Amino acid sequence: MKYNLLILFMFFSGFFAVEGLSQGLHTTSNKALKVYNDGVTSYDYLDFERAEIYFKQALSYDKKFYEAYIMLGELYTRQNNFHGAVENYTAAIAIDSSHYRAAYFYLANAEMMVGRYQDALAHYKAYLRSKETLEKNRSVALKNIRNCEFAIEAMKNPVPFNPESVGNGINTSDDEYWPSITADGQT
């Protein structure tokens, strides 16, 4: 009897946990929700190509699907497609700027990577105004604020940079690091 009650309890607790997770999403479209969940599964299995297709399909069903934009931003960041990440994080924040404050942090990181330092600076500051900051992200944001400020000033005052070859004695097609000492003491 106890065994049956335990199984019944586990079944219903799992059902309510899944139900609770789906309530916080910004869509009412069942089609969008289904393909979004397929996209999350593909993303979890590192099948980024299929995940991208699913997330875009979810957005075709519901253009205001906040979480699909966030996941596309995350996916593009992992693929080093920072322009795509900026576009999707920006779209998500335009839909709901207070739901997931860390979106400002991730948007600012992507903006830094594409050289949009002024925008990144504003978004790092917006992230730091939030009470929901992780200490690790907070310290990165503070460091990157200084980096943005430096980059903005450096771009206002460019310095000439004309690299020249030092000649064939240094720049050869050979391995320039030999001989060297290896872990076993040999050369």
What are the boundaries of each domain within the chain? 25-100, 101-157
**pLDDT at position 38:** 97
**pLDDT at position 14:** 42
User: pTM for the full model?
Assistant: 0.74
**pLDDT at position 73:** 97
Please give the Cα distance from 71 to 140 (Å, whole number): 22
CATH 3.40.50.261 fits 25-100, yes or no: no
Q: List the chain residues with pLDDT less than 70.
A: 1-23, 176-179, 185-187
CA dihedral sign of residues 55, 43, 72, 48: negative
**pLDDT at position 1:** 53
**pLDDT at position 84:** 97
**pLDDT at position 109:** 97
* Phi, psi values for residue 170, rounded to 5°: -105, -50
